[in-house]
């Protein structure tokens, strides 16, 4: 008889399946598993696998612990307290890929904490709140903070990566002139090339820190500048930078319309007549102007420098009669008095070397007349000359210089045969006389010459200078 091994019912000898349970009657019964003894090699391999798995488990636990948000926060706090720039550089990243985190920005952030160490606790409290928000799935929390904690991918494909993102800033720069360069830390970042107002520029992204912005307008003769130091810090993403340049135009005047204008020590090549108005000029006194003119006896004589502040008109008068010229004229007049005395004593006009042609001809005629009349001058002659320094003036149209003098003479004219009067004069009797005159001098043949004289009957002086003649 044949029985089903599954249900125990009797089955036909030729049946392949049990008519009661449907079990297969051809399947061989399962063999009993026999546990084989492991070889030495198999034991080594098995032990190695177990060791590797254990190491990986431990490494994972360690990696998870040192890369956890708690560990990152603790590392960041410790770096802030100790001012550890290297560690901070590894934790801080720029939130904008267009600008890279740099050592200067990290040092700036560290300096803020160093200046206010009590701020560390509230800073870290905020980061822990951000960490809780990340844990709850609210990764947008803290977007308005200058620095915020973010979860950014994986480390080694296994561990969450936590970093501190530094938010960038943008500045809105405004100025008020076309053809103006905008500079950031002395580097040109933009130029307004003749655009119409408003002259406005959005610039960024910039990481937190201190920056110096400058606007510079280079005019033909003047330069306008405005600077502003900006500290990018806090919650505001945008900051306004006002680079308005205060300026105005100024009218130029001079007693010589052909005098050349000099701006900040640089010749403009333009006369006062050609450049009657200068501008735009800054209002801060950083610009100085003056005028210069060449005269026959001196290449350049300058006006006083004028500092431009808020005035709208400046006078650049040039006084060609400076102290050097006064001293020269005084010497010429002294020489004239000495030589003219000798000329009339000797009746020889050729000894006078400081006369202009017209004056020399007049003296020559007078001496010829004295010779015919047998008259000569006796006595010392010029004894003292008083110069009115306030009377020095120069007429540029006629190239004539004027000065008022009063000369004291000791002596007199006498007929050459009047021995008694001549002896009277020579014996030093009081024959003193004073002669006031306005002398005109011209510059010719590289020297000053006495050109003419007119009498002043009532000489008066405001600023005397006396020269005695030995």
CA dist 437 → 270, 280, 371, 385, 402 (Å): 40, 50, 26, 11, 10
User: DSSP assignment of 332-378, as one string?
Assistant: HHHHHHHHHHHHHHHT-GGG--SB-HHHHHHHHHHHHHHHHHTEEEE
Residue 11 CA to residue 172 CA, distance in Å, equals 98
Domain span(s) for CATH 3.10.450 in the chain = 323-468
* Topology of the domain comprising 323-468: Nuclear Transport Factor 2; Chain: A, (3.10.450)
Average pLDDT of 414-440? 88
What number of other Cβ atoms are within 10 A of residue 435's Cβ?
14
| Mean of pLDDT values over 115-135 | 89
Would strands 375-395 and 400-415 be described as parallel, antiparallel, or unpaired?
antiparallel
d(CA 435, CA 445) in angstroms, rounded, equals 29
Percent of the chain with pLDDT over 90: 60
- Please tell me which residue, 172 or 463, carries the higher pLDDT value: 172
In the predicted structure, residue 210 carries a pLDDT above the cut 80: yes
User: Quick one: which H or E segment has residue 294?
Assistant: strand 288-295
Q: Whole-prediction pTM value?
A: 0.64
Give the Cα separation of 396 and 318 in Å (integer). 11
Alpha helices in 67-206 (DSSP H): 69-82, 85-91, 103-115, 120-135
Using CA atoms, how far apart are residues 5 and 14, in angstroms rounded to an integer?
15
Cα four-point dihedral sign 251, 254, 256, 258: negative
Answer yes or no: are the C-beta atoms of 91 and 74 closer than 8 Å. no
The candidate with the shortest Cα–Cα distance to 393, out of 403, 383, 405, is 403
Q: Which of 318-332, 333-347, 355-369, 427-441 has the lowest mean pLDDT?
A: 427-441
DSSP-assigned beta bridge partners for residue 150: 163
Q: For position 45, what pLDDT does the model report?
A: 65
Q: What is the pLDDT of residue 1?
A: 62
**Lowest pLDDT segment from 21-35, 68-82, 184-198:** 21-35
β-strand 247-253 against 223-232: which pairing, if any? unpaired
**How many residues are recorded in the chain?**
470
Q: What pLDDT, on the 0 to 100 scale, is given for residue 8?
A: 72
Least confident of 24-38, 116-130, 152-166, 376-390: 24-38
Q: Among the listed ranges 53-57, 101-105, 237-241, which one has the minimum average pLDDT value? A: 53-57
Whether the predicted pLDDT of 85 surpasses 50: yes
Q: Are 56 and 35 in contact (CB under 8 A)?
A: no
Report the chain's terminal Cα–Cα distance, integer Å: 177
Q: Which tokens is 447 given? A: 């020297």
Q: Band of the pLDDT at 58, cuts 50, 70, 90?
A: very low
pLDDT category at 41 given cuts 50, 70, 90 is low
- 237 compared with 215, residue with greater pLDDT: 215
Cα 2 to Cα 8, 22, 23, 279, 425: the distances in Å are 9, 15, 14, 126, 190
pLDDT the model gives residue 431: 81
Q: CATH fold of 169-242, please?
A: Immunoglobulin-like (2.60.40)
| pLDDT of res. 2 | 74
Residues of the chain with CATH 2.60.40: 169-242
CA separation (Å) from 63 to 58, 88, 161, 219?
A: 9, 20, 11, 64
């Amino acid at each position: 008889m044949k029985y089903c091994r599954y249900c125990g019912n009797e089955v036909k000898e030729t049946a392949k399946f049990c008519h009661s349970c449907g079990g297969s009657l051809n399947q061989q019964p399962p063999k009993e598993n026999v546990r084989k003894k492991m070889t030495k090699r198999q034991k080594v391999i098995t032990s190695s696998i177990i060791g590797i798995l254990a190491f990986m488990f431990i490494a994972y636990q360690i990696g998870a612990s040192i890369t956890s948000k708690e560990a990152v926060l603790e590392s960041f706090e410790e770096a802030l307290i100790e001012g550890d720039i290297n560690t901070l550089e590894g934790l801080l990243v720029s939130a904008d890929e267009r600008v890279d985190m740099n050592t200067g920005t990290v040092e700036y952030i560290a300096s803020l904490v160093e200046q206010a160490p009590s701020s560390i606790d509230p800073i870290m409290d905020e980061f822990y709140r951000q960490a809780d928000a990340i844990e709850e799935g609210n990764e947008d929390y803290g977007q308005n903070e200058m620095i915020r904690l973010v979860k950014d991918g994986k480390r080694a494909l296994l561990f969450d990566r936590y970093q501190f993102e530094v938010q960038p800033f943008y500045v809105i720069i405004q100025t008020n002139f076309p053809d103006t360069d905008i500079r950031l830390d002395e580097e040109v970042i933009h130029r307004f090339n003749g655009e119409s107002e408003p002259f406005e520029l959005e610039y960024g992204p910039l990481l937190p820190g201190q920056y110096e912005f400058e606007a510079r307008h280079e005019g033909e003769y003047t330069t306008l500048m405005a600077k502003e130091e900006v500290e990018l810090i806090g919650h505001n993403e945008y900051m306004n930078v006002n680079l308005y340049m205060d300026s105005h135009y100024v009218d130029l005047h001079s007693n010589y319309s052909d005098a050349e204008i000099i701006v900040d020590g640089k010749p403009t090549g333009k006369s006062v007549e050609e450049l009657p108005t200068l501008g735009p000029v800054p209002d801060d006194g950083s610009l100085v102007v003056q005028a210069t003119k060449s005269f026959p006896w001196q290449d350049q004589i300058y006006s006083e420098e004028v500092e431009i502040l808020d005035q709208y008109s400046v006078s650049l008068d040039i006084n060609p009669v400076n102290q050097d010229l006064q001293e020269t004229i005084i010497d010429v007049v002294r020489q004239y008095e000495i030589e003219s005395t000798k000329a009339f004593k000797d009746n020889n006009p050729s000894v006078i070397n400081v006369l202009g042609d017209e004056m020399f001809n007049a003296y020559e005629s007078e001496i010829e007349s004295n010779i015919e009349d047998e008259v000569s001058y006796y006595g010392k002659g010029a004894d003292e000359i008083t110069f009115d320094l306030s009377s020095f003036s120069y007429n540029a149209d006629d190239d004539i210089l004027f000065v008022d003098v009063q000369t004291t003479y000791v002596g007199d004219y006498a007929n050459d045969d009047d021995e008694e009067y001549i002896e009277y004069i020579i014996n030093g009797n009081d024959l003193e006389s004073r002669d006031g005159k306005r002398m005109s001098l011209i510059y010719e043949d590289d020297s000053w010459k006495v050109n003419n004289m007119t009498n002043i009957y009532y000489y008066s002086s405001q600023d005397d200078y006396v020269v005695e003649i030995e």
